Amino acid sequence: MSIIEAPATSLRVLRFDRVQRGAHWANALLFFSLMVTAIPLYFGSFFGIVWPRHLIEMIHLWSGLALPLPIIISLIGPWGKAMRRDVRRINYWTREEIRWVRTLGRSTLEADKFNPGQKLNAIFVSASILVMLVTGAMLQWFRFFPVSWRPGATFVHDLFAYAIFFAVFGHIVLALTHRNALRSIFKGWVSRSWAERHAARWLREERPDNTEL
Amino acid sequence: MSVESRRGTAKTPPNDVNVGRRVFLGLAALGALGVAFGNSVQNFLGDVVGSGLGGLLPGGDRFRIYSITGAYPKISRDKYRLKVSGLVDHPTTFTLADLQSMPKTSFTKAFQCVTGWRVPDVPWEGVKLSDLLDHVGVKSGAVAVSFDSYDNADTESLTLEQAHLPDVIVAYSMLGAPVTTEHGGPVRLYVAPMFGYKSLKWLSGIRVVDVIEPGFWEQNGYPVNGWLDGTTGPNNPDPGLT
């Protein structure tokens, strides 16, 4: 055990293990597929398309049905330890973190592995998956739901679609402007100095090492 | 290990708040409320900005394409046939050219879906349903008109009186071009004063009948008389409501 454990002075620490990186990119691929197919479905006649609409619908439908799988698969089972630990970190907030959101980032905060904004994004994404899945099912299998739900389901699917487009856009902009954090979703690790500056509490509480790099 | 000591580990200190669960459940509740009351919100938006949520975005006030079967029947323009039958003097099968040789009616009117979206200012062109019915001659005893679709799933109906409204047409052109397959071409129904589900796509047959046969959407719960203003009687405005 002590042989494979990284020394405390290692310059790299593991931020996302392989399971988490795989789940992230599978999730991202499905979101990409859903968003790309959503555009012609929403604005089909705007683009004047005559190409296989049915195929686009099927891609959208199956991507949607598959959407919860990366998260669920990465959470359950013996491989999901890091994922489950991060879900707990995302869910449980300290008083300081709540105050940080209330003061719009003006109060001091010893940053966790994820800052409150990142945590909110993760919570929003997971709730959106549920809401889009349920309202999407209502639209696809409308015969099994009261017709009076159809306008509401359409409305909610639209509303969350707009919100998701903004959230994903913001996520990508922030990722591209934070290269150290961005590297960790490709390679798994961040430099210890970065973690000391941006995730001090995580470093202190979990003592992450680079054993899984 | 007791509950206290487990909660007291570094991972979840006792002072911590499960914000994740609160926000997650809050958003899920927002979604449920939206399903329940979204229609009212859409109607409010419709009154304020003239369209549903989609209208707030550029390009958003556009058609959403629905299909009951998931398929889009593709009928070539020269193979298209419209069979008019039932309580008529001269049962007739029309080709597209037949329809186009009849007196043309064109106007620009909105398409309003019952699910909340609306496309303003759509140019429509076709034959008045009343002209078509006059052409074949309606027998006495007829009270309604039933419509069939090439998708073999959708059906619709109108009372004879509704069928004679001047803005109820058998349309072969919309948006300034022949009706596309997505929009129900080559020929579809357009019932301007009612919600979009009454404007049956891929029109294959018109049957003049002696009883109102509720169509596909009516069998699934939408009003038989789908007036845009929400009145549900056979006439608009419904004399029974005033």
Determine contact, residues A198/A206, Cβ cutoff 8 Å: no
Tell me the residue type at A149: W
DSSP state of A77: S
Domain membership of residue A4 (yes or no) is no
Q: How far is the alpha carbon of A54 from chain B, nearest alpha carbon, in Å?
A: 7
According to DSSP, residue B195 is labeled -
- The pLDDT tens digits for A67-89 are 999 999 999 989 999 999 999 99
C-alpha A49 chain-centroid distance: 31
On whether residue A170 sits in a domain, the answer given is yes
Nearest-by-Cβ selection for A94 from B15, B20, B36: B15
Domain count, chain A: 1
Residue A122 lies in a domain: yes
What pLDDT digit, counting tens, does each position of A44-56 carry? 654 445 457 778 8
B221 pLDDT exceeds 70? yes
Sign of CA dihedral B64, B68, B74, B76: negative
Mean pLDDT over residues B209-227, rounded?
A: 91
A212 Cα to chain B: minimum distance (Å): 20
pLDDT digits (tens, 9 = 90+) for B115-162: 777 788 899 999 999 999 999 999 999 999 999 999 999 999 999 999
pLDDT tens digits along A133-181 = 999 999 888 778 877 788 889 889 988 999 999 999 999 999 999 998 9
pLDDT score at B120? 81
**Inside any domain, residue A87:** yes
**Testing the interface with A: which of B23, B25, B151 to mutate, by most A Cβ within 10 A?**
B23
| List of domains in chain B | 81-241 (3.90.420.10)
Residue B238 has pLDDT above 80, yes or no: no
| The pLDDT of residue B173 | 97
**Rg of chain A over CA atoms, in angstroms?**
20
Closest residue to B53, CB basis, from A45, A147, A158: A158
pLDDT of residue A57: 85
Note the pLDDT of residue B89: 97
Amino acid A78: pLDDT: 94
Res. B222 pLDDT band, cuts 50 70 90: confident
Please report, in angstroms and rounded to a whole number, the separation of the first and last CA atoms in chain A. 15
Q: For B37-74, how does the pLDDT look when each residue is reduced to its tens digit (9 = 90+)? A: 877 776 676 666 555 555 555 445 578 888 888 788 99
A179 domain residue, yes or no: yes
Q: Using an 8 Å Cβ cutoff, are A188 and A21 in contact?
A: yes
The tokens describing A86, both together, are 């991060």
The chain-wide mean pLDDT, for chain A, equals 86
Whether residue B167 contacts residue B107, with contact meaning beta carbons closer than 8 Å, is answered with yes
**Distance between CA atoms of A60 and A70, rounded to whole angstroms?**
17
Q: Which residues neighbour A203 within 8 Å (Cβ) at sequence distance 6 or greater?
A: A13, A192, A195, A196
* Model confidence band, residue B186 (pLDDT cutoffs 50, 70, 90): very high
Q: Give tens-digit pLDDT for B11-40.
A: 555 668 899 999 999 999 999 999 888 777
Q: Which of A39, A45, A129 best tests the B interface by mutation, with the highest count of B CBs <10 A?
A: A45
pLDDT tens, residue by residue, A102-114: 998 888 888 889 9
Q: What is the rounded distance in angstroms from the CA atom of residue A156 to the CA atom of residue B34?
A: 6
> Is pLDDT of A3 > 50?
no
Within a domain: residue A139?
Answer: yes
Residue A44 lies in a domain: no
C-alpha to C-alpha distance for B39 and B60, rounded to whole angstroms: 17
Q: Is residue A48 part of a domain?
A: no
The CATH number of the domain where A177 resides is what? 1.20.950.20
Query: For residue A135, which residues of chain B lie inside 8 Å, CB to CB?
Result: 31, 35
Contact B193/B201 with Cβ under 8 angstroms? no
Tell me which of B196 and A143 has the higher pLDDT: B196
Residue A127: domain span: 12-18+68-206
What does the alpha-carbon distance between residue B151 and residue B156 come to, in Å, rounded to a whole number? 13
